[in-house]
Chains A and B, each alone.
Chain A
C-alpha cells in the first residue's frame, strides 16, 4: 500500500526566515507529485507539480520553490517567508502519467504560521 508522509506537521516561523517542507511517498514508483496550499478557511491552490526526478513545473508564483531530488521525495522551500505564506500545505500524488483526470491522494499536511 502506498503511504505519503509530510514533515513537519506544524511550524511557527518568523517573517524573513527560511522554510523547508518535505514529502515522501512510499510504495509507488515514479508517482506524479503535487504541492497545494490552502489559506485558513480557504480553497486549494496548486503550487507545483512534478512528473519525474529533477523536473518541477510551477503553477503559481508565491515566492516559493520546489524540488524533486529523489523519485519519492518532494520539497517545498523559500529563503524568506512572508506573512502571506501562512496556511496549510498539502503534498499529493497521483498514479497515471500523462492524464489530467487522475485521482489525487493527499498527505496529512503541514500547517505553517508566519509571525
Chain B
C-alpha cells in the first residue's frame, strides 16, 4: 500500500527565512496531497492541498510543489513567523474507488521558527 515519508523530523529556521518540508510517496496512482498543521496540544488544521493535475499551487505565503515523476511533494513557507511553529503533516490519497478518504499521513515535521 501507499507509504508517505517526511524526511525531516525537525526543521529550525530564523524568523523571516523560508522553510521547505519534503515528502515522498510510493503509490503512483495517488492523486491528492493535502498538508495539515498541528500546533502543540491541538488538533490538525488543513492548510493547503494539491491535486495531481497541477504541479504547483500557492496560497499567500504557502506554496506546494508536486513532482509526480519523482513521487515527491513539498511545502514551502516564505517569510516565516513564530506562529508558523507547529508540526506539519503531509498526506497522500489513494485513487478513487479504494478506501474512502483513506489519507496516508507522513510522520510529521516539527517546524521551529526562531524569533
Contacts and interface: CB of A to CB of B under 8 A. Distances in A.
Interface residues of A, number: 24
A98 B103 CA distance: 14
A101 B100 contact: no
Please tell me the size bucket of the interface on B: 20 to 34
Interface in B101-115: 101-103, 105-108
Interface of A: 32, 34, 42-44, 46, 49, 51, 57, 59, 90, 94, 98-109
Q: Give the interface SS of chain A, mostly helix, strand, loop or mixed.
A: loop
Nearest to B94: A100
17 contacts: A32-B100, A43-B108, A44-B103, A44-B105, A49-B102, A94-B101, A100-B93, A100-B94, A100-B98, A100-B100, A100-B101, A100-B102, A101-B32, A102-B32, A103-B34, A106-B45, A108-B43
Interface string B63-99: 0000000000000000000000000010001111111
Q: Give the interface SS of chain B, mostly helix, strand, loop or mixed.
A: loop
A109 B45 CA distance: 12
Contacts of A109: 42-43
Contacts of A46: 101-103
Contacts of A104: 34, 46, 101, 103
6 A-B pairs with least C-beta separation:
A101-B32, A44-B105, A109-B43, A101-B93, A43-B107, A106-B44
